[in-house]
Amino acid sequence: MNIGIDLGGTKIQVGIEKEGKIIHKTKALLKEKDDLHSTLNQVKQFIEPLTHHKVDGIGIGVPSVVDVEKGIVYNVTNIPSWKKVGLKAILEEEFNLPVFVNNDVNCFTIGEHKFGMGKEYSCLVGMSIGTGLGSGIIIGNKLYAGTNCGAGEIGLLPYKDQNIEYYASGNFFSAFYQTTALDAYNQAEKGNQEALSQWKDFGYHFGAAVQAVMYTYDPQAIVIGGSVANAYPYFEATMKESFKDFIYPESIKKLKIHQTKNEDIALLGAAALVDLSLEHVKGIM
């Protein structure tokens, strides 16, 4: 059993992975994000009760670029005080357990590959749509994170007058419709025609993001997660309609696109960092 932690820009979730499920799960909003000491203490307080169980290690996903080897996180999204934090060293000293740190969307993708919709694929991309757009990459059944843990930032590629993320994330609704993705989703659920039209527009832009993934990684499958993924039925059709311009039609026909089904998948992926990292260490000894 391993402890998994999903640290977002606004909240923290923790739990223990046992036989592919999360037990002893707790979550809360992050407090006093301008104070490094305060936020670190809050993280420690959430972890501490779980260390009383028989666990082998701690895995944590963070929305930032990560020095995976040293466990240092840089410029964490929406946590102003986390500019450069040696998270691995801090938590290992506190709990005397091995700690492994990675990007949060990488953890989501690992979770899907190991426990979720991506189990049957050796080449997989996880796309997390929230306020922004992030991706995790599995190639040959292994996470590909790049030299600086920055691979998969499809959302930052240039697109139209901005970048892909500007149009293919929750930001789209505030930028163009002065609303939120959540409100657009709630209105679409009620059959509101204006909201349904907004999601159709969104689908075309998200289709461009999927095409960027295909041109870059050509995966067998994509798993879509994040808060905006709940609205997938409302933008799936126009997303697929946008594929008519894809230069390799046979490749796009073979692509499988799944919507995540497990709300704990990022926690499961974070917990899996422990076993994956320890297996790697054994492999090079």
CATH value of 2-106 in 3.90.1150.10, 3.50.50.60, 3.30.450.20, 3.30.420.40: 3.30.420.40
Listing DSSP states for 135-162 in one string gives EEEEETTEEE--TTS-TT-GGGSEETTE
What backbone torsions phi and psi does residue 178 show, to the nearest 5 degrees? 50, 40
Q: Where are the domains of the chain?
A: 2-106, 119-259
The answer, yes or no, to whether residue 278 has pLDDT greater than 90, is no
Question: How much is the pTM?
Answer: 0.92
- Most distant pair of Cα atoms in the chain: their distance: 60
Question: Which tens digit of pLDDT belongs to each residue from 237-258?
Answer: 999 999 998 999 999 999 999 9
Architecture in CATH for domain 119-259: 2-Layer Sandwich (3.30)
Question: Which tens digit of pLDDT belongs to each residue from 199-215?
Answer: 999 999 999 999 999 99
Report the pLDDT value the prediction gives residue 281, as an integer from 0 to 100: 42
Of 135, 153, 131, 129, which is closest to residue 206 (Cα–Cα)? Answer: 129
The reply to whether 119-259 shares the fold of 2-106 is: yes
Question: Which tens digit of pLDDT belongs to each residue from 159-195?
Answer: 999 999 999 999 999 999 999 999 999 999 999 999 9
Residue % of the chain over a pLDDT of 90? 84
